[in-house]
Chains A and B, each alone.
Chain A
Amino acid sequence: DTGVSQDPRHKITKRGQNVTFRCDPISEHNRLYWYRQTLGQGPEFLTYFQNEAQLEKSRLLSDRFSAERPKGSFSTLEIQRTEQGDSAMYLCASSRGPSNQPQHFGDGTRLSIL
């Protein structure tokens, strides 16, 4: 169990640029989740996958956000035309689902918009 891996750890970009983050889940986990966390708040759900199928997408996720999990293994989260309000920590989690096991979180990607 090598844990959930996220890349990059930090991303600084100018407003209007596109950014892409990668998440590698724990290998035997079929469910993968994306959350966003801002300072002083708990994580907010963005979207999740079972294998390659995207099962749910939050209303928070504007059409500038897209997530994929093409082969049911790693996932990418892309933000197009970034805005100041996108600055946050983006967390990925994975789990064996449906089951009674908790979601395991990665260390996150911190996005800063200049």
Chain B
Amino acid sequence: ELKVEQNPLFLSMQEGKNYTIYCNYSTTSDRLYWYRQDPGKSLESLFVLLSNGAVKQEGRLMASLDTKARLSTLHITAAVHDLSATYFCAVERGKRWVEYGNKLVFGAGTILRVKS
């Protein structure tokens, strides 16, 4: 059974600092998603990582995927208050294109608070 673990579960950061959120998963997959959720809102897609070594960047966020280590990271550079939210990683089972579009297994989420 596919399990996804995130750490830390809570992260309090000072503005301007850097930090990394880690996402480990238990079985083979080469498709991983990062989502952001603001309080009372739904999930917003941030990144889709499709293969080993994939790296995506958007603003102050950068995500990477190491399928051999079954590990993805979400790196935050020079945090600002607007990044405060809950971040989820989600893994899709399957390794071949024909299997894509299946259910996602989510981590528990990392609550990020950026303090001024």
Which listed segment binds B: A70-78, A80-88, A97-105?
Answer: A97-105
Decide: B108 and A42 in contact? CB cutoff 8 A.
yes
With an 8 A cutoff between CB atoms, is A48 at the interface? yes
With an 8 A cutoff between CB atoms, is A52 at the interface? no
With an 8 A cutoff between CB atoms, is A25 at the interface? no
Looking at the assembled complex, report how far the CB atom of A108 sits from the nearest CB atom of chain B, in whole angstroms. 6
Decide: B101 and A98 in contact? CB cutoff 8 A.
yes
Give CA–CA (A97, B97) in the complex, Å: 10
Taking a contact as CB atoms closer than 8 A, the residue among B35, B42, B101 that contacts A99 in the complex is B101
Decide: A98 and B98 in contact? CB cutoff 8 A.
yes
Known: A98-B97, A100-B50, A102-B48. A45 touches B103 (CB 8 A): yes
Report B-chain residues with C-beta under 8 Å of the C-beta of A95: 101
Please name the residue on chain A nearest to B109 by beta carbon.
A42
Decide: A44 and B100 in contact? CB cutoff 8 A.
no
Q: Size band of the A side of the interface?
A: 20 to 34
Please name the residue on chain A nearest to B50 by beta carbon.
A100
Please name the residue on chain A nearest to B47 by beta carbon.
A102
Looking at the assembled complex, report how far the CB atom of B110 sits from the nearest CB atom of chain A, in whole angstroms. 10
Looking at the assembled complex, report how far the CB atom of A51 sits from the nearest CB atom of chain B, in whole angstroms. 12
Please name the residue on chain A nearest to B96 by beta carbon.
A98
Give CA–CA (A112, B42) in the complex, Å: 18
Decide: A42 and B106 in contact? CB cutoff 8 A.
yes
Decide: A45 and B100 in contact? CB cutoff 8 A.
no
Decide: A98 and B100 in contact? CB cutoff 8 A.
yes
Decide: A45 and B101 in contact? CB cutoff 8 A.
no
Residues of A within 8 A of B (CB): 31, 33, 35, 40-45, 48, 50, 56, 58, 91, 93, 95, 97-108
12 pairs of residues in contact across A and B, judged by CB atoms under 8 Å: A33-B104, A41-B108, A42-B108, A42-B109, A45-B103, A48-B103, A91-B42, A98-B98, A98-B100, A99-B100, A102-B33, A108-B42
